[in-house]
Chains A and B, each alone.
Chain A
């Protein structure tokens, strides 16, 4: 049994380990280790396409994670106050949203956005009061952020709801009993107590968005995120530069995931 388990882990992690190892290779060939060097990291970070893709990825990840944290927390708090069938329905829909394959989300979001833009663009053109051509809504950063925010909201809702469920109702009652207004209770009691959940949700959302290829591939339009850049450059052959990018993405993701876990594990003492 242990041998099987070890084998599973080996098959899972050895390729990742090899990528990380070869990113430090001095040679030109990605499958041959030729001395330790950081030169491919330098090359990657001086490649204007990589830097541009990295900037796009950061913008999208940060924007969608912030939006998802804000709206997801609001939705989680609202769901907490709900009862009956509507609550069950919403809960089910949220879990389904997380489990639907990325490719389905990607295609359906693409079709939905294209359809809506197809309706809106003539409308805008018709009511455009100034001279010159009316602006056209198109796929781009906005649609990518929107698609990621939708998925990330489900993540945040699940995490924050677990946090709220673990919170004793008597805390908010005690606060109200001590003359705090509903908003005062939210600011001084509810928010600080669920903050670790919100931060964890934010970090997981950031990681998901930063790493996502499938949804981004469909809705990013002309924009290139880092995963899309890696995918397109692999078609020209794997270089140690790709390994270096992969290792950097992996490191960042791991740091965020571990931090998020830290927030979730932090027990409320007392």
Chain B
């Protein structure tokens, strides 16, 4: 479909469909992307996750062709595309605010990409593709609607259809759900995921919403200050973050700071104010360094009768299937504990002000450098 515009290279499932090779983007003194190296594999759902200004949007814009790397290389299908303009790239983007053309109706918006082909495709072919694509995004019969007559969710589907009709090699999604309400966002996430599976197109998503990245992606690329901090499957990132930054950004975590006193095999011990605390080594750490013991709230047990740490319940937040407690230990300070409905059913709920005991297993704790 894009054969005239794009130089073809032999593609196999083993070759990455897109590749960043030490790609950097500088705006004067500002470094938006700092030597990003990453291979995107065909058919995968990859997310760039990070706070605003971390370089995730710059990475996406380099893929789309809106930004050329200042140094390093950007490859699509094994071909260097550093200076290939966006209109010659076989990728399509769903923009953050959709960027639907306000002077065109839904059908004209969706068929825009097809209508740019030379020679022009037949009108009947275009109409049929538009109808098919509208069906696919569950908006049949919306052809002649004006853009401003539709809700945010509908506009988003049109934006999706406008990109998908071109059967891009990669679909780029720039915070596409940011403007939707929570329930609609959840629906769209599920729909995007099943669309991706059905079409087999590579999806690259940019988001600052960790829940969104965790629930949809095959792999997540966590970014900070223009650099990639960690790449991995959602579960790996959650269970084995390689830094305090990742542990903090992906899910919630409690951090207890202390000095690393000893290491044996994959385990270590941290001198906490309450005594030595054992945990798994999460990254390269050195004895004598200041480290954090990172423990997820759901990995901490709360018991009315016994445990290593005497705590007082400060606050209780009902979250539906879980209850989140903020508890205080005089030496460790405040930390969060997540108690499931089942546990509460056997042990009973805790009231603010109540004394209790908290504990966790050494396997649940991760030793990470303070950064």
A contact residues vs B (CB 8 Å cutoff): 168, 170-171, 173-182, 184-185, 188-189, 192-193, 268-270
Residues of A within 8 A of B66 (CB): 173, 176
Q: Is the CB of A178 within 8 A of B148?
A: no
- Min C-beta distance of B166 to chain A, whole Å: 7
B5 touching A171 by the CB < 8 A rule?
no
- From 82 to 126 in chain B, residues with beta carbon under 8 angstroms from any chain A beta carbon are 85-88, 91-93, 95-97, 99-103, 112-113, 116-117
Q: A270-B102, A270-B146 are in contact. Are A178 and B95 (CB under 8 A)?
A: no
CB contact between B99 and one of A170, A185, A269 (< 8 Å): that residue: A170
Quick one: given A270-B146, A270-B147, are A177 and B102 in contact (CB under 8 Å)? no
Q: Which residue from chain A places its CB closest to the CB of B89 in the assembled complex? A: A177
Contact A173 B5 (CB under 8 A): no
Quick check: is B293 within 8 A (CB to CB) of the other chain? no
**Are B103 and A193 interface neighbours, CB within 8 A?**
yes
- Contact check, B166 vs A179: say whether CB atoms are below 8 A apart: yes
Chain A residue nearest to B108 in the complex (CB): A188
Contact in complex: A174, B101 (CB < 8 Å): yes
Partner of A178, one of B65, B96, B113: B113
Which 4 A-B pairs have CB atoms at the shortest separation, nearest pair first?
A270-B148, A170-B99, A178-B113, A174-B99
A177, A180, A270: which has the most chain B beta carbons within 10 Å?
A177
Q: Check B162 for interface membership: any CB of A closer than 8 A.
A: yes
Which residues on the B side are within 8 Å of A189 (C-beta)? Answer: 101
Partner of B97, one of A170, A178, A179, A268: A170
The distance from the CB of A103 to the nearest CB of chain B, in whole angstroms, is 42
Contact residues in B for A188 (Cβ distance below 8 Å): 112
Query: A219 vs B34: C-alpha distance in the bound complex, in angstroms?
Result: 61
Task: Looking at the assembled complex, report how far the CB atom of A195 sits from the nearest CB atom of chain B, in whole angstroms.
Answer: 9
Closest B residue, CB atoms, query A174: B99
A177 CB to nearest B CB, Å: 5
| A72 to B297 Cα, complex, angstroms | 63
Closest B residue to A167 using CB positions: B102
B206: CB under 8 A from chain A? no
List chain A residues, Cβ under 8 A from B97.
168, 170
A-B contact pairs, 23 of them (CB 8 A): A168-B97, A170-B95, A171-B99, A173-B64, A173-B66, A176-B65, A177-B64, A177-B65, A177-B87, A178-B112, A178-B116, A178-B163, A179-B113, A179-B166, A180-B112, A181-B116, A185-B87, A188-B112, A192-B103, A193-B103, A269-B102, A269-B147, A270-B148
CB-based contact A179/B5 at 8 Å: yes
Centre residue among A168, A173, A184, A185 by max chain B CB count within 10 A: A173
Q: Which chain B positions have C-beta within 8 A of A178?
A: 87, 92, 112-113, 116, 162-163, 166
Instruction: Give which listed residue, B86, B148, B162, contacts A176 with CB less than 8 A.
Output: B86
Q: Are A168 and B5 in contact (CB under 8 A)?
A: no
CA distance A163 to B93 in the complex (A): 25
CB-CB under 8 A from B166, the residues of chain A are 178-179
Does A180 lie within 8 Å of B148, measured CB to CB?
no
Docked Cα-Cα span, A178 to B101, in Å, equals 12
Contact of B87 (CB < 8 Å), options: A168, A171, A181: A181
CA distance A178 to B99 in the complex (A): 12
A173 touching B87 by the CB < 8 A rule? Answer: no
* B93 contacts across to A, CB distance below 8 A: 173-174, 177
Shortest CB distance A190–B (Å): 11
* Nearest neighbor of B66 in chain A, beta-carbon distance: A173
Contact A173 B99 (CB under 8 A): yes
Q: Least Cβ distance of B122 to chain A in Å?
A: 17
**Beyond A176-B86, A178-B113, A178-B166: 16 further Cβ-contacts under 8 Å?**
A168-B97, A173-B66, A175-B101, A176-B66, A176-B85, A176-B87, A177-B87, A179-B2, A179-B88, A179-B113, A185-B87, A188-B112, A193-B102, A268-B102, A270-B147, A270-B148
Q: A180 and B116 in contact (CB under 8 A), knowing A168-B97, A170-B95, A270-B147?
A: yes
> In whole angstroms, what is the CA distance A171 to B101 when docked?
7
Within 8 A of A (CB), among B58-96: 64-66, 85-88, 91-93, 95-96
For A174, the chain B residues whose CB sits under 8 A away are: 93, 95, 99-101
The minimal Cβ–Cβ distance linking B86 to chain A, given in whole angstroms, is 4
User: Quick one: which of B112-171 are within 8 Å of A by CB?
Assistant: 112-113, 116-117, 146-148, 162-163, 166
CB of A79 to closest CB in B, whole Å: 21
Minimum CB–CB distance from B129 to chain A (whole Å) comes to: 14
Known: A168-B97, A177-B86. A269 touches B148 (CB 8 A): yes
Complex Cα–Cα for A16 and B248 (A): 74
Complex: how many Å from CA A181 to CA B65?
Answer: 13
Residues of A within 8 A of B64 (CB): 173, 177
Name A180's contact: one of B87, B91, B92, B163 (CB within 8 Å): B87
Measured CB to CB, the nearest residue on chain B to A195 is B103
B86, B91, B147: the one within 8 Å of A173 (CB): B86
Beta-carbon contact of A179 and B99 below 8 Å: no
Report the minimum CB–CB distance from A236 to chain B (whole Å): 53
A182: chain B residues within 8 A (beta carbon): 87
Q: Which residue on A lies nearest to B174, using beta carbons? A: A170
Bound-state CA distance A177–B89 (Å) is: 8
